[in-house]
Structure 1
Amino acid sequence: MAKKQQSELTTAEKKKQQKRDLILESAKVVFSKKGLIDATMKDIIEECGISRGGIYLYFRSVDEIFLAVLEQRSKRKFDDVREMIMEQVPFETILNKYFSDHRKRLLHSISDGMLRAVYEYYYTHKTEASSSLQQAQLSETKRTIHEIFQVGVQQGVLKDENLAVIAENYMFVIEGLGILALTGHITEQTIDDQIAVMRQLLPYRN
C-alpha cells in the first residue's frame, strides 16, 4: 500500500512539474515576443492554454513567472560548455564553443525580446532582490569563463596569470555587447572583432 501511494505521489509530482515547465516555456515565448513590460498574465494564459486559476496555483504574478524563467534560463544557458569542462575537452574546443554560443545569442537577440526583458526587469525593479539577482548572473558568467581558463591551465595551454581579471574583462565585454544588441545595431563583424580582442588577452604558453 505504501509503495502504491509513493508511486502515485511520484506520478502526481511529475505531472505538476510538467505543467510548471509548460507555463515557463509558454511564458518564454511571450517574453521573447513582447519583452517584460508589455507581457501580461492574459498573454501567458493564452499561450499555454491553462486557466488563470491553474496558473495561480504555481505563480502569483508575471514577475514571479519571469524570475522562474530567468533562473531556468541561467541554469541551461551553457550546459554544453559546462559538460565539456567536466569531460576535460581540449581547451580551444571549449573556448570556441563558448564564443560560438554567445555569438548566436547576440545575433538572435536582435529579434528576440528575451534579452530586452532581462534588462527591462533590472531597470524597472530597483530592489535589493533584483540587484542580488543581477550580481548573481554576472558572477555566474565570470565563474564559467574562469573555469574554462582553468582547463587551459591544466592542459598546459595557458599560463596561470591574471586569469581572474581577464575573466572579469570578458564578462564586461559580453554584457556590453548584450546591451548593444538591444539597439539592433550590433553586427557580426562587431562581435567577431571583440572576440578577437578577447582572445588576444589570454596568456598562452609559447
Structure 2
Amino acid sequence: MGEKADHKKKHILDKARVVFSEKGFKNVTMKDIVDACEISRGGLYLYFSSTEELFLAVLADTHEDDDDEAIAAALAGDASAGDMLALFLKEQKKEILRKKNNLTVAIYEYYFVNKVTDKDNFLKGQFDTAVRIVEKLIENGVETGEFCCENPFGCARNLMYVVEGLKVMSKTIGITEEAIDKELMYVLEGLVPED
C-alpha cells in the first residue's frame, strides 16, 4: 500500500472507531462508515468488505502495542511498584469512566454474537496482558517489601476481573467514580503488609 492509501485507511479506521463507539457493533452499517468518512461506498470497499472486518481492524489499530513492550514499559523507571500499580489503575479507571471513543459496548456486543477462537480473541489477549503487567508489579512489590502476597498471579487476575466488571457496570447500570475507587482500594488493601 502506498502512503496515500495508508493515510486513507487510517482515516477510515479513525472515523469507524468513533461510529462503533457511538453505536456499538451490531447497529453499525457500512453506510454509517461511508457517511462518517465522507467517501463513496466503493472507496470504503477497496479497504474493507464488511463491518466485522472493519471492526477487527479498528481493534487491531487501537492496540498495536506488543504485549512484552507493554509489560516492559510498566516496569520501567524508578517509580515504586505501588506507584506503578496506582498509575496502571488510574488508566483503567479513566477507561471505565470514558464516555467518548469507548469501544467497550461494541467489543462486548461483538464477542456475545461471534464465536472467536482463543488465538483470535482480542478481549482475552487484552485481559491476559493486563494480568501479566499487574502480576509483575505485584512481584516487584513483594521483592521490595512494599507488598505482601503469596499468589501474585491470582491477585492480579482477581484485580482485572474487578476492573472488567466495573467496565460492564459503567456501560449498563452506571457506577460512580467513588464506587470505582472503593472497589479498587478494597483489592489493593490486601497487598499492604500488616505492621
**TM-score (norm. length: structure 1):** 0.79
Q: Deviations over 1:131-177 (max 9, x none)?
A: 73332232122122223324434544235631011011011111111
What residue ranges of structure 1 are gaps of 5+ in the alignment? Answer: 1-11
Amino acid aligned to 1:33: E
Partner of 1:124: 113
- Structure with the greater alpha carbon radius of gyration: 1
Indicate the percent of aligned positions where both proteins have the same amino acid.
33
Q: Does 1:36 align with 2:25?
A: yes
Q: Going by fraction, where is helix more abundant, 1 or 2?
A: 1
Structure 2 counterpart of 1:102: 92
| SS of equivalent to 2:191 | coil
> What is the CA–CA distance in structure 2 between the aligned matches of 1:54 and 1:150, rounded to whole Å?
50
Question: What pairs up with 1:8-27 in 2 under 5 angstroms?
Answer: 13-27=2-16
1:89 aligns with 2:76: no
TM-score (norm. length: structure 2):
0.83
2:135/2:153 contact within 8 Å kept: yes
In 1, Cα distance between equivalents of 2:130 and 2:16: 24
Instruction: Indicate which of 154, 172, 177 corresponds to 2:161.
Output: 172
How has the CA–CA distance of structure 1 residues 82 and 58 changed in structure 2, closer, same or farther, with 3 Å as cutoff? farther
Across the two proteins, how many residue pairs are aligned to each other? 193
Is 53-62 or 122-131 further displaced after alignment? 122-131
Q: What is the RMSD computed on CA atoms of the aligned residues? A: 2.8
- Post-superposition shift, 1:24? 1.0
Determine whether 1:141 maps to 2:133.
no
Take 2:122 and 2:45, find their aligned partners in 1: how far apart are those partners?
A: 23
2:62 corresponds to 1:73? yes
Report the CA distance shift for 1:113/1:136 in structure 2 as closer, same or farther (over 3 A): closer
Contact (CA 8 Å) 1:152, 1:158: kept in 2 or not? Answer: yes
Gaps of 5+ in 2: none
